Amino acid sequence: MRTQICIIGGGPSGLLLSQLLHLKGIDTVVLERRTREYVLGRIRAGVLEFGTVELLREAGLGARMTREGFVHDGTYIALQNRGFRIDFKKHTGKQVMVYGQTEVTADLYDARDGWDAPVFYDVQAVNPQAVDGDAPFVTFLQGGKVHRIDCDYVAGCDGFHGVSRKAIPDDVRREYERVYPFGWLGILSETPPVSDELIYANHPRGFALCSMRNENLSRYYLQCPLDDRVEDWSDDAFWDELKRRIPEDAADTIVTGPSIEKSIAPLRSFVSEPMRWGRLFLVGDAAHIVPPTGAKGLNLAASDVYYLYHALLRHYRDGDDQGLEEYSARALARVWQATRFSWWFTTTMHRFPDQSEFDQRMQETELDFLESSTAAQAALAENYVGLPY
Ligand code: RFL
Ligand code: PHB
C-alpha cells in the first residue's frame, strides 16, 4: 500500500494532522496500536488554548466545541485560604476553551467517518524504516499478517511510549528530563463544578485543582505521593482531602458524589531533540511531555501539528521545503517555552518532599508577587492562553 504521509498513532496529534491534510487533498494512513473504543475512553486534558481552538475550527471541528465548550476569561489561584484571580482577557485579549480531550478525539474520529479514511487499529510491531533515505516505509502486524506502507514522509504521533522517537539514532537524539517526586490523583464525577473557573490551589498538604468538563461533570485533582494506589483512595477520602486544600468558601459549597473515573498520573518534563530525522517527524507526546499544571500537553501537540501541516502544505503545493527544514527548530522553540511555564507553575504550586522552610518562603513570596503584580499576572496569562505560533 502507498500513501503520502504515514501517521503512526491515532491520538489527537495523529488524527488532527490527518484531518487537516485530508482537507487539502493530501493522503494519509493512520496506524493505531489500540482499538478505537480504547482511545476514546481515555480521560486526559481539559483546557484548549486559543490557537488550538482556531486550528480545530480550521479542521472543520468547531461546531460541537462552540456549542458545548465553555469559554473561560480567567482562572483562580488559591494559597491556603486566600484566593485571587488572573484575568486572561484583560491581560491578553484572549480566552481559553474548556472542552475535554475525550470530546476532541471523538469529534476527530466522527469527522473521518465521513470520508474514506484508512485507520489500521490494533496494530503491533510498528517499524518505521529507511526514514533517512528517499523511500521510507513502515511495516506492522495486524491480525498476524505483515503489512507494509510506502510513503513520502512518516509522522511519529505515537505518544511517549511509541516507537517513532527511538527510530532516531542514539548518537543524534538528545533527551532532557525532570521527573517530579509526586503524582496527580484525578477523579471525574457527575456533579456541578464548584466554581465558574478553574481553581489552582497551593496548600501545605499539597496541590489541588478544581476543573470541569460541563455543567454536570467535574474534574478534580490532588497531588499525591508517587507510591499511592487508586484503590487506597475511597471517594470519601478524596473529597475530604480536596476540601482541606481548597479555599473555605469552595469547600463549603462543593457538591460531592460518586466518582466515575479515578486515576493517578506521574508528573514529568521531557524534551527530545531533534524533532525531525530525515523523513520522520515527531509530533506531540512522542517528542515531549510536560506536567499537567498549566494544561499544555495537548496544546503543544496541536502547535506541532500546526507547524508540520503548514510545512507539508508548502512542500506539496509550492514545492518549497523550507518549512520541513525548519520544523524541528520552530516546534522546539515553542516546546521549550511551554516546558518552562509548566515547570515553573508546577514548582510554584506543589509541595516537594524535601521542601525546606526557605523553599517554602520562596514559594509564598512568588505567589504574593503574582497576586500584587500586574506584570506577573500578565506573564501567567500570556503563557496560559498560549504563546503565538
Ligand atoms: P497520545 O494521546 O499519547 O496518542 C498517541 C497514540 O499513539 C498510539 N501508539 C501507537 N500507535 C501505533 N504504534 C505504536 N507503536 C504506538 N504507540 C502508541 C497510542 O495508543 C495513542 O493512541 O499522544 P498525542 O496524540 O501526541 O497527544 C498528546 C496528549 O494526549 C497529551 O499531551 C495530553 O493528554 C497530556 N495529558 C494532559 N495534558 C493536558 O494538557 N492536561 C491534562 O490534564 C492531561 N492529563 C495527560 C493527562 C496525559 C496522560 N498520559 C499520557 C498518561 C493524563 C494522562 C494520564
Ligand atoms: C483538566 O481539566 O483535566 C485539567 C485542567 C487544567 C490543568 C490540567 C488538567 O492544568
Give CA–CA dist 376/275, Å, rounded.
32
Which has the closest alpha carbon to 208: 366, 355, 352, 350? Answer: 350
Which has the closest alpha carbon to 76: 66, 88, 67, 68? Answer: 88
- Give the count of beta carbons closer than 10 Å to the beta carbon of residue 151: 23
75 in a domain, yes or no?
A: no
- Give the count of beta carbons closer than 10 Å to the beta carbon of residue 173: 15
- The x, y and z cell numbers of residue 161, run together, are 511510549
Domain span including residue 9: 5-43+101-177+269-346
165 in a domain, yes or no?
A: yes
- Is 128 a pocket residue for ligand 2 (Cβ < 6 Å)? no
125 in a domain, yes or no?
A: yes
- The x, y and z cell numbers of residue 302, run together, are 496541536
Residue with cell 464525577: 189
Ligand of minimum distance to the alpha carbon of 197? 2
- CA 211 – ligand 2 centroid, Å: 6
Residue nearest to atom 2 of ligand 2 (CA): 46
Q: Identify the bridge partners of residue 266 per DSSP, sorted by sequence position.
A: 183
* CB burial of residue 110 (10 Å; 0-12, 13-18, 19+): exposed
Ligand of minimum distance to the alpha carbon of 99? 2
Instruction: From the CA of 162, give the closest atom in ligand 1.
Output: 17
218 in a domain, yes or no?
A: no
Task: Output the CA–CA distances (angstroms, integers) from residue 271 to 13, 231, 332, in the order listed.
Answer: 17, 32, 9
Q: What is the pTM for the complete model shown?
A: 0.97
Residue pLDDT tens, the chain, 389 long: 999 999 999 999 999 999 999 999 999 999 999 998 999 988 888 999 999 999 999 999 999 999 999 999 999 999 977 899 999 999 999 999 999 999 999 999 999 988 888 899 999 999 999 999 999 999 999 999 999 999 999 999 999 999 999 999 999 999 999 999 999 999 999 999 999 999 999 999 999 999 999 999 999 999 999 999 999 999 999 999 999 999 999 999 999 999 999 999 999 999 999 999 999 999 999 999 999 999 999 999 999 999 999 999 999 999 999 999 999 999 999 999 999 999 999 999 999 999 999 999 999 999 999 999 999 999 999 999 999 99
- Residue 150: per-residue pLDDT: 98
CATH, residue 342: 3.50.50.60
- CA 206 – ligand 2 centroid, Å: 16
Give CA–CA dist 314/82, Å, rounded.
51
88 in a domain, yes or no?
A: no
216 in a domain, yes or no?
A: no
Q: How many domains does the chain have?
A: 1
Task: Output the CA–CA distances (angstroms, integers) from residue 140 to 6, 160, 318, in the order listed.
Answer: 12, 19, 32
389 in a domain, yes or no?
A: no
24 in a domain, yes or no?
A: yes
- Is 292 a pocket residue for ligand 1 (Cβ < 6 Å)? yes
Report yes or no: 157 and 14 within 8 Å, Cβ to Cβ.
yes
